[in-house]
Amino acid sequence: MLTLRTQGLAQLPKQQPTTKHHCKNIRRSRTGSSRSVARVVAAAASEPIQRSSEFDVKELFQWSAQNGVRGSGLAFATGDEEWERGMIAQEDQPEGRPLLAIPYSLALTDEINRLDVSPAYDGAHWGVVLALRLLQEYKKGDSSEWAVYMTSLPATVPALWWLVATGQKDLVEEVQYSPAVQLAEAMAKDVLKTYERIGPEALHQASLAEFLWAVAMVHSRSFGLEDSSRPGQYRHMLMPLADMLNHGGDQLGTYKGGQAALKSVNRDDNIEWVVEAAPDALYFVSTAAMQAGQEALMSYGDRSNDHFLLYYGFVPRSNPHDDVVLFESLDDLLSWYAGSRGLDPAGTEWAALSGAAAGAAASTAEAV
């Protein structure tokens, strides 16, 4: 179990260097390939999210400190492209050091009583409630208490469902994996229907593009914390600064020779959030020693590539938790097998094979 040394936590600097840190190998955890992301950014620019002001990292850190955020040792960093950004260690850090503490009061949450106007239907999904909460502050512009945080949010996230919902068919076709596309199509359909169900007052007159943006922000940047007062229930929240941490986790080892023999599974995440550290703040603690300039990486969970692509718009470089649907139905499997064996679909061997497979499937269904 990780031991938290709270005495190592210092006050977050109120001023960051005016020149941004640059990290050559900053993770593209929220992006994908540069070519695809550039096309997504260009498409989003056709109906841009309106900003009251430009993002200023110095202003974000000042605002965070003024609102109770504490910590030291992490700095904002950018990569070669404008959408590549994350957090890095400013200096060498030992394992177990608290690097960031964000008060819950600074979070935007899915508590429905925080909405000015409730959705026009009962039982709204937490993602809808939190998206409306985000839009509520976004539409206030400079008058919002979270105005500075709003400028730090990206204009878009190339999540697969968002690409479907916004009609980016050419990019969706590049996936070439129907199970993931089907999940994205189902989610996009649900999100579009939800927009139609919510009244314009609850949406704060947000356009469809703005609602899709808010849902994308929520599903790619929120944290889910178990509610101690309601076992098994979770509170979902957007946490300023913390949502800039990119994904790290299990990585497949190298392969030797011509055989796919797994050598090892390694983890490259080096920071995690700790709920029990304090009742009023969420702590982020180093789980491994970090060198100055090394990127701070936090695991988004042991998920499949489908999940990462659907909600975050990227896939890890090598993911041991991925799975692949080889055949979507028994008929697809039989067709592949018949083709590999050169069987005649009208022949007796094919008929016997189909009958045996159908019988086995029925027996399995009964057993389950």
Residue 148's pLDDT band (boundaries 50, 70, 90)? very high
Q: HEC string of 284-331?
A: EEECCCECCCCECEECCCCCCHHHHHHHCCCCCCCCCCCCCCCCCCHH
Residue 81's pLDDT band (boundaries 50, 70, 90)? low
pLDDT of residue 147: 95
User: What are the DSSP calls for 140-181, one per residue?
Assistant: TGGGSTTHHHHHHS-S----HHHHHHTT-HHHHHTT--HHHH
Six-digit token pair at 112?
Answer: 């429905």
Six-digit token pair at 142?
Answer: 């400079």
Spatial neighbors of 358 by CB under 8 A, at least 6 apart, are 330
pLDDT of residue 330: 74
Most confident of 83-97, 136-150, 219-233, 279-293: 136-150
pLDDT of residue 52: 59
pLDDT of residue 120: 74
The residues that bridge with 86 in the sheet, in sequence order, are 77
Q: Per residue in 242-297, pLDDT tens?
A: 999 999 977 766 555 555 555 566 778 899 988 865 678 999 999 999 999 899 99
**3-class DSSP state of 61:** helix
Say if CB 269 and CB 178 are below 8 A apart. Answer: no
pLDDT for 7 beyond 60: no
Give 101 or 263, the one with higher predicted confidence: 101
- For the chain, the domains span 39-254+263-312, 330-357
Contacts 24+ apart (CB under 8 A), 186-190: 187/161, 187/310, 188/161, 188/162, 188/164
Say if CB 231 and CB 213 are below 8 A apart. Answer: no
The residues that bridge with 246 in the sheet, in sequence order, are 297
pLDDT for 58 beyond 50: yes
Q: Per residue in 319-356, pLDDT tens?
A: 887 777 777 777 777 777 777 877 776 777 777 777 77
Share of the chain above pLDDT 90, in %: 39
pLDDT for 27 beyond 70: no
pLDDT for 24 beyond 60: no
pLDDT of residue 351: 74
pLDDT for 158 beyond 50: yes
pLDDT of residue 71: 84
Residue 188's pLDDT band (boundaries 50, 70, 90)? very high
Least confident of 28-32, 105-109, 234-238, 300-304: 28-32
pLDDT for 368 beyond 80: no
pLDDT for 31 beyond 50: no
Q: Per residue in 105-133, pLDDT tens?
A: 999 999 888 888 888 778 889 999 999 99
pLDDT for 14 beyond 70: no
The domain covering 39-254+263-312 belongs, at the CATH homologous superfamily level, to set domain protein methyltransferase, domain 1 (3.90.1410.10)
pLDDT for 192 beyond 60: yes
What's the rounded mean pLDDT across residues 65-76? Answer: 87
pLDDT for 239 beyond 60: yes
- Distances 123 to 112, 130, 217, 228, 264 between C-alpha atoms, Å: 10, 13, 21, 21, 45
Least confident of 6-15, 81-90, 359-368: 6-15
pLDDT of residue 13: 41
Roughly how many angstroms between the first and final C-alpha of the chain, as a whole number? 38
pLDDT of residue 9: 36
Q: Which helix (H) or strand (E) holds 349?
A: helix 348-367
